[in-house]
Amino acid sequence: MGLKDIEAIAFDADDTLWENENFFREAEREYCQVMAGYAPAGETAGSLFRVEMQNMELYGYGVKAFMLSLIETSLLLSKNRVRPDQIEAIIAIGKRMLQRDVILLDHVPDLLERLYGRYRLVLASKGDLLDQERKLKKSGLLKYFHHIEIMTNKQEENYSDLLKHLDVRPERFMMVGNSLRSDVLPVIRLGGYAVHIPYFMTWEHEQMDPSEMKSDRFFELKQLHDLLTLFE
């Protein structure tokens, strides 16, 4: 068994196929400006991250969860003095995020075009169902995917369910994504292949030391298009 036996390739979406994290960071900068009268930007960002982590189990991933955490953090940081027009500005930041155009990363359609028909292509993404479906439609990439899986989490059991659903053995499955924690580690542990393509920024929650990853089923590539070199 080896790379030549792979049947299904799953792609993460946010920051693997299209830009995402920088939209969150941009929104965070706007938010820090709204909150500037209560706390310096560094403190605001730190509090926001803590509130997001506290709410993770209850809210999960995605823009709506982010918006609710922004509002909660504003109450906290202002010691309940935040003004209604500031809450309004925060809601407007979130609504703009939900309406953004999708910006594909370099060479994405070309890569999918080349793999299409040779492999079952799967999109395996975390986040909010409605928002991910909307982005996929806007992206024009829907036609390449055999199966779309929006997951509440990306741990071993979630991938195990996905493999069962796809009816594919781990050693014939490859996951491609920008997060070592979510896209690589659980798949390697299950016996599958994983390709890490670092994005220029990583959300603190997803950070991990790449040296922890040691497996002959693990590859690190500079950009998504290099994936083709693995199959040549």
* Residues that bind its own copies in the complex, under the rule CB under 8 A: 58-60, 64-65, 67-68, 71-72, 75, 78, 80-85, 87-88, 91, 94-95, 98-99, 128-130, 133, 150, 152
* Closer Cβ to its own copies, 41 or 65, answer by number: 65
CB of 147 to its own copies, least distance (A): 9
Give the C-alpha separation, 109 to 114, whole Å. 9
CB of 16 to its own copies, least distance (A): 20
* Closer Cβ to its own copies, 94 or 194, answer by number: 94
* Structure-token pair, residue 17: 């196929």
CB of 87 to its own copies, least distance (A): 6
Q: Is 208 exposed, middle or buried (0-12, 13-18, 19+ CB in 10 A)?
A: middle
CB of 47 to its own copies, least distance (A): 15
Q: Do residues 173 and 8 lie in contact, with contact meaning Cβ atoms separated by under 8 Å?
A: yes
Give the C-alpha separation, 76 to 38, whole Å. 10
* Closer Cβ to its own copies, 147 or 225, answer by number: 147
CB atoms within 10 A of CB 177: 29
CB atoms within 10 A of CB 131: 18
List of residues 6+ apart from 197 with CB closer than 8 A: 16, 176, 177, 178, 220, 221, 222, 223, 224, 226, 227
List of residues 6+ apart from 227 with CB closer than 8 A: 111, 115, 176, 195, 197, 221
CB of 133 to its own copies, least distance (A): 5
CB of 93 to its own copies, least distance (A): 12
* Closer Cβ to its own copies, 68 or 104, answer by number: 68
* Closer Cβ to its own copies, 97 or 174, answer by number: 97
* Closer Cβ to its own copies, 37 or 210, answer by number: 37
